[in-house]
Amino acid sequence: MYQATLSRRSYRFNDLRQLLAKASPARSGDYLAEVAADSAEERMAARIVLADVPLKTFLQQLLVPYEHDEVTRLIVDSHDALAFAPISHLTVGDFRDWLLSEQADSAMLARVAAGITPEMAAAVSKLMRNQDLILVAKKCRVITRFRNTLGLPGRLSVRLQPNHPTDSLQGIAASMLDGLLYGCGDAVVGINPASDSLPLLEKLNYMLDDVIQRFAIPTQSCVLTHVTNTLRLMERGVPVDLVFQSIAGTEAANQGFGINLALLAEAQQAALSLNRGTLGNNVMYFETGQGSCLSSNAHHGVDQQTCEARAYAVARHFSPLLINTVVGFIGPEYLYDGKQIIRAGLEDHFCGKLLGLPLGCDVCYTNHAEADQDDMDTLLTLLATAGLTFLIGVPGADDIMLNYQSTSFHDALYIRELLGLKHAPEFADWLTKMQITDERGQLRDTAANHPLLLALQGERR
């Protein structure tokens, strides 16, 4: 039992799970789950109490039972006590102050990352203003490699997302060309297929591999189908770079996705055996989003932001090249408006980076949310300032297959110019070699006889 008194009123919180939920910033998903604070005063009372909770408590009081949940078992069994030692004496409030101090520099944050549990990260985020989330995340350095190097300071990568509502190879190729000529695609060229047909998935993988190999593009491809489909493709000898899967923060929610930890481990080993990376062996690509546990009724009474942080424990176990919070995609039932989406995006990025993950963000919203592109401009700018690993590049910011609003190739140009951010180094060299950018990294005018344009014309014929 936890309690506090404010304005002569006593507030009681039955356990750590309820305390975390009541301390969360207001969001529609927690109201839907009936775990949110009833008032701003109750929320503040919960935060006052939470600030005095020792970090060690999160190793003793588990939010989801150990014996019933493999994600909990993963968190507990993989906890690094040696990495935790420098911060083990702190309370949640002390942890916030330490994270904001000069003592917590990039090297120190990297050393303690394995000792921080998702619940600790979620708890401290609830005590932080947006500027705190930005400042600490900026100090976290997470570098991964496959065919290029992602996450270096002063760099921002883009996932080129050339989706098509009928999986037209010509339509996908046109969008991919468009993105490459805008300098996008260094994070990954990733297609969300409309169909799960294995023959079609094969064609998509072969097409992506052909373009990457033909033009010696230092990037990687991914067809974002279910992990079981990717396993079948690899068994058939299809050229697979990255294994994709949506993941969540509880065993039951992952069962809703049709996965478990053993299946992810099998897929990771299969991808590693292909040995397709030239610079590194980070072969996994995960996507997450606040509300996924609640949407499958698998949240165990835990608030949606803490559930999201628990998904990062799953990702961390498999050393991904990329992990992406699709922050506004699930809908207004979970994040109602632009204010809630902005806060959630900053929380997710902070928690992921603090746990040692190469976190990117699909800065996005659905058309029935109380949000617009101005909100996305704000979130994009804040995240890039905070050291975002990658963002999404969609033609015109409008994904015509998934039917939601994201960020465009032009948005990537804006944020690079604003903050002086560069591409992944190997990709930047390729852009210059292909005369897509000049020596300063600025886009050139593309001639009609550019090799990429000629290749597309050949595909159409």
Round to whole Å and give the CA distance between 270 and 266. Answer: 6
Residue type, 151: G
310 labeled part of a ligand binding site: no
Residue type, 451: P
426 labeled part of a ligand binding site: no
The 10 Å Cβ neighbour count of residue 124 is 29
Bridge partner list, 365: 405
- How many residues are given for the chain? 461
28 labeled part of a ligand binding site: no
Residue type, 215: F
Burial of 269 per CB tally in 10 Å (0-12, 13-18, 19+): exposed
Three-state DSSP at 27 gives: coil
Burial of 194 per CB tally in 10 Å (0-12, 13-18, 19+): middle
Cα torsion 201, 205, 206, 212 to 10°: value is: 160
294 labeled part of a ligand binding site: no
401 labeled part of a ligand binding site: yes
DSSP-assigned letters across all residues of 253-311: HHHHTT--HHHHHHHHHHHHHH---SS----EEEEE-TTHHHHTT--TT--HHHHHHHH
CB 290 within 8 A of CB 28: no
Three-state DSSP at 394 gives: strand
Collect all residues with Cβ–Cβ distance below 8 Å to 168 and sequence separation of at least 6.
Answer: none
287 labeled part of a ligand binding site: yes
160 labeled part of a ligand binding site: yes
DSSP-assigned letters across all residues of 131-176: HHHHHHHHH----EESSSEE--TTB-EEEE----TT--HHHHHHHH
Q: Specify binding-site residues for substrate.
A: 159-161, 192, 287, 362
Q: Specify binding-site residues for adenosylcob(III)alamin.
A: 193, 245, 295, 401
Q: Specify binding-site residues.
A: 159-161, 192-193, 245, 287, 295, 362, 401
